[in-house]
A and B are shown apart, each in its own frame.
Chain A
C-alpha cells in the first residue's frame, strides 16, 4: 500500500522502484490473508497426517460447521477491526438475539417469525447503540463495548428469569412458524457424502459480500480510511461516524444470524451462553491478518482464521490426543498458524 520514498534525482538513471512492477508471487504473498492461508494448509496437512477420521470426506461437514459458527461473526468483527474498532459484546449479543426472539414469541404467543424480526431490530439497535456511545463519549471502543458486554450479560439473565422464572428460554418448537424458521436458520444440505449445515452457506456468502464491499466499493475504501487515520479520513470527506456506526450495526446483524442459529438448532437458549466467544472472533480476525491497530486486514483472512480455529478444535478430537491437554494444543496450534502468517508476510514484504 505505502510506496517507499526514494531520492527524486535517482529516477533518471535507473528505473524508479516506485513504479517497478513486483513479481506476481511477491504481490500474492503480500496480501494480508495469504499468510493465514498457508497457516491453514500447514494445520490441514498436519491433521491429515495424524488423524485418520480427518481424512474421511464425510466428516468435512462437522469441521466446516465448527468453523462456520465462528466465521459468521469473525467476518463482521474483522471488518470492524479494519475500521479501527473492537466489539467485545459480539459473543453475548448473539445470545441476546436468540433470547429476544424466543422470549417475545413465547411470552406473547406470537408466530415465531415475529420474534425473529423483532430480534433483528434488537440486535441492530445494540450495534447502533455501541457506535452511538463510542462517538457520544469519545471513549475507546474497547471500553464502550466492554460495558455493553456486561450490560447484556445481566440483561440476558435478568430478563429471562423475569419472564420465564427460569434461566433458559422455554422450548418453542411447538409454536407456529418454528418449522419454517428452522429451515432457514438450522437446516442441513446434503452434498454427496457431505452434510453441510446452513451456517456454512451463510458464512461463505457473508465472506464474499464483505470481501466485495471492502475491496471493490467506496464503502470499502472508507473502512480502510477510518481505520488508518480517522482524522485524515474526515478531512478528505469520509463520513467517519456513519461508517463506524454502520460497522457496529453489521456486527449486530451477524450476531442476529448466529443467535437465530443458536435458537433454531437447540430449540432453547441458555441465558449464560456466549461469554468468551468475543475473543475467539477477534483472534480469528487477527490470525487472518487484521491488525489490532486498524486500517489493515482482510475478511477472507478472518474467514480462514475461523477455519484454522475450527480445524484445530475438531482435529484434536479426531486425533484422539489426551483431552487434558486440549487447550494447550489449541494454543500451540494457533501460535503456529500466526507465526507462519507473520513469517510469510515478512518474507513477502522484503522481496
Chain B
C-alpha cells in the first residue's frame, strides 16, 4: 500500500512556524488528488493500454500453463493416442488463446450487461456506475482467461450494491440469476476486493454535473441573463441531456480512468450544448475580459493572444530557475500574464473536454458472432481438458469407420 502522503503535519503546526505555506487553501482538486481513484486508478491513454495488454499477456501465460498441465495429464493417461496423432494432438495446433483485441471486445460486450442487471434489481445509478468501475478495474488486474467475466460481472454488481449502501441479500440476488449459486458469487467477492486493491470509493461525474448545473445558473442567469435564449428551463434540459449522455456514453467507456469527474461532467455538457457550455467556461476562466473578448472578432483576438504569449515567454525565461515560477509570474507581471494564464487554462480545459468526448464515444458494439467465438475460446482457455478431450474424441470418431471396415 501507499505511504500516507504529505498531510502528516501535526495539528499544532502551521500558523507561526511556516508563514510561507500559510493561507494556502485546500481545494477540491487537492482533495481529489489524494483519493485512491486518482492515486491508484488514473492512467494516461498509453499506460491504460499497457495495463490491459499486461493483463492479457499474464492471462495467456496462465492459460498456457493450465493447458500444458492438462495436456501432460491426458497424454500420460493414454500415451498411444497422443503418439499416433501427433499432427492433430499437439499444443501448437490446439492452444488457441484470446488475443488482446479479442479480450477488449469481449469485455466491451459484457459491460452493458452490468447495467442491465443493475436495472433489473432497480438499483440506483450510483450502483450501476460503481459496478462497471469494479468490473473494468478487475480486468486491468486479471484476464478473462483467469476468471470468466460472467460471474465476475454478477459479483461486481453484488459488491457494488453493498458498497453503495443498497444491500441485496444473496438469496434474492442469485434467485434472479439463473444458473448461478450463492457460492459462485461469495467466493469471488474477496478476490474482487483484492483486485480492487481494497479501494471501493468511486467518484462519479454525477455530483459535479449537478454542481455545474447550479453554477451555470449562477453564472449565466445572475444578476441578469447573459444569453437571450437561456433560462432555468433550458439549463434544466441541458442538465437532463447531459445525464443521459453520461449514462449512454461515459459509463461504458474508459473516461473514468483518464479524466477527473468534473472534466467528464463538463464534457457531457459541452457535447450536449457547446454554445452554452463554452459561454460558461469563458465567463468562468476569462471572467474579467469575457465581455471584451466576446466583442472582438476572431482575428484580432488571436493577434492579441500571440503578442501576450511572446511577452510572457521572454519574461518567463527569467524565472526559469524559480521554483515558484508560476505564482511569481502572475504576481509580478500583472494583468498581462493573468489574462495569459486564464486563457491557457481555458484552452487546456477545452482541449481536455474534447479529448474526453472522443474517448467517451469510442466504445463500439462488439458483433454478436465474434463474441460467440471469443466466448468459446474463453471457455476452453479456462477448461483446456475439455478442449483436448474433444479433440481426442474427434480423432476417435474419424478413426472409427475405417476400423469397422
To the question of whether A and B form a pair in one complex, the answer is no
Binding site for A on B (CB under 8 A): none
